[in-house]
Homo-oligomer: A and B are copies of this chain.
């Protein structure tokens, strides 16, 4: 296959994931529907955001598909491969976020992307992953989440789990954003077919991992104090995305469509000065799990 055929395969796959995940999230919510549009971007690309707001179980979700086409790769993006500078490139990605309404249901994020440069030799790789950000720690949920991730990735699980623990860290607070999952970049081993198959297994695993957790937790009663804790934690989520996340920072600086770049931000968030949960509380249990990544599969 040529790199153009790789791009088409990734496009087809990721746009199908968008459609199936949108359907699955609507079914989980049971009431709200995604709205969206298809925006043509320069050079023949498309941006296809799908956003759900104000659901009964999902307060906000964004599932975005983008296919960008670039005429010339900037030198800064090709430092390690100077032969790629100035060459045409394409990037295909699905990126999603779910901010639930019930604090017992975790927030989650998934991203799959394929990047290819039309050069000789050709250059391409996959990146992405998925991760879970609970407000209350249910070890059974965390174990199941990681078990599904491990089934999808096999021998790659340990490395991708470690990369996830290392990436999603609020360094200024010495705490992780969540309880991890998978993270990978520059991935293309051993060849396109095998790498693509792995990425598709990860894409398929996402709802298999997240769906049962939502079903189990979405009807649990919760107090105003628990909701407020969720809002404080969502403030931390905004801190990570705005101040630390490479993708968001790149999007802000590069002039990409800002509503797509910032669709991951929480619908509501709070900051309480010098807030610390009571020792021994469920909230403190969560913080303990965020301060030191755990091996959930023992």
- Chain A residues in contact with chain B, CB under 8 A? 51, 53, 60, 62, 171-173, 231, 235, 238-239, 242-243, 248-249, 252-253, 255, 258-259, 261-263, 265-274
Contact = CB atoms under 8 A, between A and B. Distances in A.
Nearest to A269: B269
A243 B252 contact: yes
Contacts of A173: 258
Top 7 A-B residue pairs of the complex, sorted by shortest distance between their CB atoms: A242-B242, A265-B271, A242-B243, A172-B252, A259-B274, A51-B273, A172-B258
A273 B238 contact: no
Contacts of A172: 252-253, 255, 258, 261
A221 to B, nearest CB: 23
A176 to B, nearest CB: 15
Contacts of A271: 262, 265-267, 269
* Copy total for this chain: 2
A219 B233 CA distance: 32
23 contacts: A53-B272, A53-B273, A62-B273, A171-B252, A172-B253, A172-B255, A231-B268, A235-B269, A238-B238, A239-B262, A242-B242, A242-B243, A243-B243, A243-B248, A243-B249, A243-B252, A259-B273, A259-B274, A263-B273, A268-B269, A268-B270, A269-B269, A269-B270
A272 B54 CA distance: 10
Contacts of A62: 273
A66 to B, nearest CB: 15
B252 A242 contact: no
A51 B249 CA distance: 30
Contacts of A266: 271
Given A62-B273, A239-B242, 20 more contacts: A51-B273, A51-B274, A172-B252, A172-B255, A172-B258, A172-B261, A235-B265, A238-B238, A238-B269, A242-B242, A243-B243, A243-B249, A262-B271, A265-B271, A266-B271, A267-B270, A267-B272, A268-B269, A268-B270, A269-B271
A263 B273 CA distance: 6
Nearest to A174: B258
Contacts of A272: 53, 267
A171 to B, nearest CB: 8
